[in-house]
Structure formats: C-alpha cells, structure tokens
Amino acid sequence: MSDFGFRPFFSSDEATDSIYVSHRDHGTKAQIKAMIEDMWLRYAPVCPDNHKDFLTDARSHFVQRVWEMYLANVIMGQFKLQKPPPEGPDILFEHEGVRYWVEAVSPGPGEGPNAVPQRSPDNNLVPMIPAGKLLLRLTHAMREKELKFEKYRAKGIVNEDDACVIAVNISGIRDADLFDQDGPMAVRALFPVGEVVLRFKAGSSDQPVIDRNLRRGVLKKKFGPDGPESDEFIPTDLFLDPRSASISCMFYSSWGIWFNPEPLGRDIYVIHNPQAKVPIAKDLLQFGREHIWLDGHNLHRERR
C-alpha cells in the first residue's frame, strides 16, 4: 500500500496482457515501472473509476489504462484536475469558467478483414501495414467517442458550453508509430490530406517538389465481413464536417509508455477542430509536440 492508502498499480495477480506482465516482471523496465507507479499515485485521487476495478482492468488492457493516467499527469502539470463522475468522461479540469472534458481511447488492431496486420513480438521484420486499415481504426475510435459524448450530454453530465477533447493513442497497434514520420497519422483521419508526394519534371534538372498537403477524396474504402463486394465508404474529413462541432480538439499519440517520453506530453499532438462550438485557444495548452489547425484551405503546424 502507498502512503496515501492506494493499492500499487502493479500486483502479482494474474494478468493476461503481455505488455503489463513485461513491465511488471522484467528488470530492464524497472525505470518505466517506477514512473508508472508515480503516475498512479498522482492520478488515483482524481480517477473516476473504482480503484480496484481500474487496476483489475489494467491487467488485461494495459495500454488503455496507462494512456488515461498518463494524460491526466500531463494535464495536471498545468491545470488542477477535478474528479469526474464515474459515468462521465475520463478527465475533467476547469479554466476561466470553462469545463474541459477529455475522453481517452486506445484502439487495438481490430478483428476480421479490417484488422491491421500484426507481427509477432519476436519477429523483427516489420510488415507492410495498409494505411487504410490504420485509418479505419482511428476513424472508428473517434466516432465511438463522439457517440459517448452525445450520451454524456443527454445525461446532463456534459453541457453545451463545455469543451470536449477526444484523446487517441494507437500504441496498442504494433509499429503504428512508423506512420508518423511525415506528420501525425491522425491528421489524415480528420482532414482530407493525402500521401506525401514527390513531384518532378522528367528530363529536367529542376529540384523536385515535396507536396505534403495533396488533397484526396474524403471517403475511405472499408471492407465488410464478406469481402470487397460489401464495400462502404467512411469519411476521413471529420473536422471539416459541421456536425463535429461538439468536439473541440483531438489529442493524438502513437507512443507507448515504453518510449519513456520526457518531459511528459512531448509525444502528444494537439489537433484543433475548426468547426468547434467551444474552441480551445492555440496558446492555452503548454504541452505537446505540435498544434495543428486549419486556416482557410491550408493546414498550419506550430512546432514546439
């Protein structure tokens, strides 16, 4: 038991999550394990869930639970957190009379024909991951949390003048972080931004031009359970849709806690919704690697 009477994050109880087990048992992860325990001590007083239930679930959903308390620790470096109601979003803080709610999600690779291919942990050869399938995991996670915020409003937990943030971490999908080399993958799920393109004129000595904002179709193909013949189209321009106005911004990270981010929060991208009814000022949040927002027809990025 800790000095505050809370159970430690890690226990000797049976665990089905291999990442939990490795951080608990492997001596090489002792530093990360200690950091997680410290984060839990700070998060436990404002954790909306029953502590026993939270810690039990962490043994089978390690990435999701660590992502929640990691976010809380990042935010409490700047704001004082309040304890949300158990049936509400994961994180709550207030600033200048506005309440800010954060709902965290960490999708896995999925199942069936839409699943993102995963290599085994002992295989060092990284498979070719179809970007479309990874985008589907992101869009599905965003839509799922959008619907949860709708339910929170219907219950009167979240008000119309509250700021709502969806925080997505995809480190539970092995090798997904490789897709962020040319900017966060989440941008392609929120805005109609295409692949990085190298344009050059054949037979010319002119320098090639890199185009990072090539506009593409706003719909992405999804394969149904019966194969390509049951295709449907999924929008990947959520933050251009006025119906997304209830979401203020998105926090996004592809890093797992095993990356040992220092300082906390340096891995998080803050992506603003230009349709937001309650927008978050670009200079309000003092953490994160970039703020991304739409100015006219152009995406702007402010590196920190």
pLDDT at 235: 74
pLDDT at 176: 84
Higher pLDDT, 52 or 236: 52
Reported as a single tens digit per residue, the pLDDT across 110-123 is 888 778 877 777 77
Percent of the chain with pLDDT over 70: 85
- 199 pLDDT band (50/70/90 cuts)? low
Q: Which candidate, 197, 171, 199, places its Cα nearest to that of 185?
A: 171
Poorest-confidence range of 175-184, 200-209, 248-257, 281-290? 200-209
Average pLDDT over residues 198-215: 62
Reported as a single tens digit per residue, the pLDDT across 54-68 is 999 999 999 999 999
Query: Residue 10 — φ and ψ, nearest 5°?
Result: -90, 145
pLDDT at 105 over 80: yes
pLDDT at 154 over 70: yes
pLDDT at 5: 57
pLDDT at 1: 42
pLDDT at 266: 93
CA 91 and chain centroid, separation: 14
Instruction: Kindly report the average pLDDT of the chain as a whole number.
Output: 86
pLDDT at 274 over 60: yes
Average pLDDT over residues 223-232: 49
pLDDT at 96 over 60: yes
Higher pLDDT, 278 or 132: 278
How far is it, in rounded angstroms, from Cα 216 to Cα 52? 47
pLDDT at 218: 43
Average pLDDT over residues 197-208: 68
